[in-house]
């Protein structure tokens, strides 16, 4: 790929568009940005605020600390911060210039103003509409599809901005469909360092700084510190604990900015910090590090572009795949090695597994045979074929998104409980006497799905038990007792 090629320039522009600074978790910042836009148009302090947001925004904001607010958290706090102290022209750095006096004012404002928070009636996964009212006047701002895609800005009935609502913003961004794994590697190998130096130096500086802050302070669950103390200073663990520490700090109110990827700070951290750690370990040149970061960041963008800005499939997994590709480049890997790294990473991390030999032995000891399964890393992974043609990354993305009856994927007909009925029918058709539901610890999609599965299983008269599991389990006594009792119940039916 030549520097003068249009494709080369597109890749540089994609990096410039995606790798931008943001303060804190990007969903509350998007709420603050919309609120700041509405407040600026209204021109006065709102007496009442209506916040309408899509379900995934609620999930991502309700418990997250909003930066520069004195540790306030949640949807109302994010909107209040944008109204009182937001600089709307700074977009994702909208809260970068908050004063102590403004933080005190935010707290007072949350008590004096009326906040109405409700789900938005919208087909879009990412949708925020904030309407502010004062003295008979009103203004509203709406963001759809990505964190700064302002599609509507109204003052009363006057439409200051009124663009078509869409999850895509391609009319104002470089086309992501030009990305393929082969082209990404070609670009990385042929790039001129000066074209990306500013972009990547800022990413290295910002994201490594917040990682160090996460290790120095006490943030959230202190996952980074725990990993360092438990597993030591191998390069593999250092890459993990540095990235985790950065995320600890970011999600718990650290006021340092991060360079995001695909609209997410955690994805930006995951796509960069492990690559920098490995580059330092291997002693490679700065130019080689830039090329590896190009592979990592563009691979992440390539994967995420086909999933969407918000999805039940965690975007940090996409960034982890990208980081693996970047690290492979640092070790001298070319297109073939990077391609297979991505394929392997997607296969390993694309679902929930139940493969612990101790747990499986419990089944055997109690004469329980597995007649069928809906484990994400077992039969569900092969339910839909992957194409053997074209770009392998695209083939895996299409296979994943075309899978039906999957708790990790959005189902527009979820109100009909299709998946619950599917699982119940699987039990009946396999001839199984009952079902064991392995609930992966801290997996929100599975936990939220359980009431619907229970409803379908109860309606079908299928006996079942629910067991909490995780990949670090060592004590299976409780699970063994539960499975033994369940086997006894089934044997007398």
Between 402 and 159, residue with greater pLDDT = 159
Q: Which residue has the higher pLDDT, 401 or 120?
A: 120
- Share of residues in the chain with pLDDT > 90 (%): 44
User: What is the residue-wise DSSP string for 100-163?
Assistant: HHHHHHHHHHHHHSEEEEEE---S-SSEEEEEEEETTEEEEEEEESSTT-EEEEEETTEEEEEP
Does the pLDDT at position 292 exceed 60? yes
Residue 170 has pLDDT above 50, yes or no: no
Q: Is 219's pLDDT higher than 80?
A: yes
The predicted structure's pLDDT at residue 397: 79
How does residue 24 score in pLDDT terms, banded at 50, 70 and 90? Answer: confident
Structure confidence at residue 351 as a pLDDT band (50, 70, 90): very low
Sheet of strand 127-134: strand arrangement = 114-119, 48-53, 127-134, 137-144, 150-155, 158-162
255-287 pLDDT per residue, tens:
888 998 988 889 999 999 999 999 999 999 999
Mean pLDDT in residue range 306-312: 63
Task: Please tell me the predicted confidence (pLDDT) of residue 436.
Answer: 84
Q: Which one is predicted more confidently, 403 or 19?
A: 19
Measured CA to CA, the distance from residue 315 to residue 328 in angstroms comes to 20
pLDDT, residue 350, reads 32
pLDDT higher than 60, residue 199 = yes
Find which of 8-17, 248-257, 423-432 is predicted with most confidence, using mean pLDDT.
8-17
376-392 b/e with 16+ CB inside 10 Å = b? bbbebbeeeebeeeebb
The whole-number pLDDT of residue 75 equals 93
Contacts from 356-360 at CB under 8 Å and sequence distance 24+?
A: 356/469, 356/471, 356/473, 356/476, 358/476, 359/469, 359/473, 359/476, 359/479
pLDDT at 396: 81
> So what's the pLDDT on residue 387?
83
pLDDT of residue 385: 81
Question: Alpha-carbon distance 355 to 364, whole Å?
Answer: 13
Is the pLDDT at 425 greater than 60? The verdict is yes
Between 346 and 302, residue with greater pLDDT: 302
CA 81/CA 74 separation, integer angstroms: 11
Given a cut of 70, is residue 104 above it in pLDDT? Answer: yes
Q: What is the mean pLDDT of residues 368-377?
A: 71
**pLDDT for residue 190:** 95
150-155 vs 137-144, strand pairing mode: antiparallel
Q: In terms of pLDDT, which residue wins out, 222 or 347?
A: 222
Residue 463: its pLDDT value, please? 87
Q: What is the mean pLDDT of the segment spanning 332-343?
A: 86
What pLDDT, in 10s, does the model give residues 435-450? 888 776 666 677 777 7
Evaluate the CA torsion angle 217, 204, 91, 169 in order and state its sign: negative
């Amino acid at each position: 790929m030549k520097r003068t090629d249009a494709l080369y320039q597109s890749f540089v522009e994609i990096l410039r568009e995606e790798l931008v600074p943001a303060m804190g978790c990007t969903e509350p910042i998007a709420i603050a940005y919309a609120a700041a836009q509405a407040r600026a148009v209204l021109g006065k302090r709102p007496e009442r605020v209506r916040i309408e947001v899509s379900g995934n925004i609620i999930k991502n904001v309700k418990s997250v600390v909003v930066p520069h607010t004195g540790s306030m958290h949640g949807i109302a706090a994010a909107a209040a911060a944008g109204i009182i102290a937001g600089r709307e022209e700074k977009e994702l750095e909208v809260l970068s210039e908050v004063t102590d006096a403004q933080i005190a004012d935010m707290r007072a404002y949350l008590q004096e103003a009326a906040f109405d928070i409700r789900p938005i009636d919208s087909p879009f996964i990412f949708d925020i509409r904030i309407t502010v009212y004062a003295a008979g006047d009103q203004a509203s701002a709406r963001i759809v599809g990505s964190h700064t895609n302002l599609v509507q800005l109204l003052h009363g009935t006057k439409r200051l901005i009124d663009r078509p609502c869409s999850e895509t913003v391609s009319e104002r961004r470089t086309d992501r469909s030009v990305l393929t794994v082969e082209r990404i590697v070609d670009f990385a190998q042929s790039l001129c360092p000066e074209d990306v130096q500013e972009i990547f130096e800022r990413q290295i500086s910002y994201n490594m700084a917040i990682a160090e802050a996460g290790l120095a302070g006490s943030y959230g669950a202190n996952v980074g510190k725990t990993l360092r103390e438990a597993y030591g200073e191998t390069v593999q663990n250092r890459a993990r604990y540095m990235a985790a520490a950065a995320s600890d700090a970011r999600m718990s109110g650290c006021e340092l900015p991060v360079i995001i990827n695909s609209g997410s700070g955690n994805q930006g951290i995951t796509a960069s910090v492990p690559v920098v750690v490995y580059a330092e370990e291997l002693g490679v040149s700065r130019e080689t590090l830039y090329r590896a970061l190009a592979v990592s960041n563009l691979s992440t963008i390539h994967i995420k572009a086909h999933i969407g800005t918000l999805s039940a499939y965690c975007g940090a997994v996409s960034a982890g795949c990208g980081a693996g590709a970047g690290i492979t480049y640092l070790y001298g890997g070319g297109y073939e090695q990077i391609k297979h790294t991505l394929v392997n990473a997607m296969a390993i991390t694309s679902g929930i597994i139940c493969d612990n030999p101790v747990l499986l032995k419990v089944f055997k000891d109690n004469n329980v045979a597995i007649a069928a399964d809906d484990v994400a890393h077992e039969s569900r992974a092969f339910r839909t074929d992957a194409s053997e043609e074209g770009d392998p990354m695209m083939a895996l993305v299409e296979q994943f998104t075309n899978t039906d009856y999957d708790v990790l994927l959005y189902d527009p007909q979820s109100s009909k409980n299709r998946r619950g009925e599917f699982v119940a029918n699987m039990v009946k058709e396999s001839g199984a006497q009952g079902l064991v539901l392995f609930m992966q610890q801290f997996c929100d999609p599975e936990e939220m799905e359980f009431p619907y599965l229970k409803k379908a299983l109860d309606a079908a008269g299928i006996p079942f038990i629910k067991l909490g599991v995780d990949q670090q389990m060592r004590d299976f006594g409780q699970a063994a007792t539960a499975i033994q009792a369940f086997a006894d119940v089934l044997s007398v039916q």
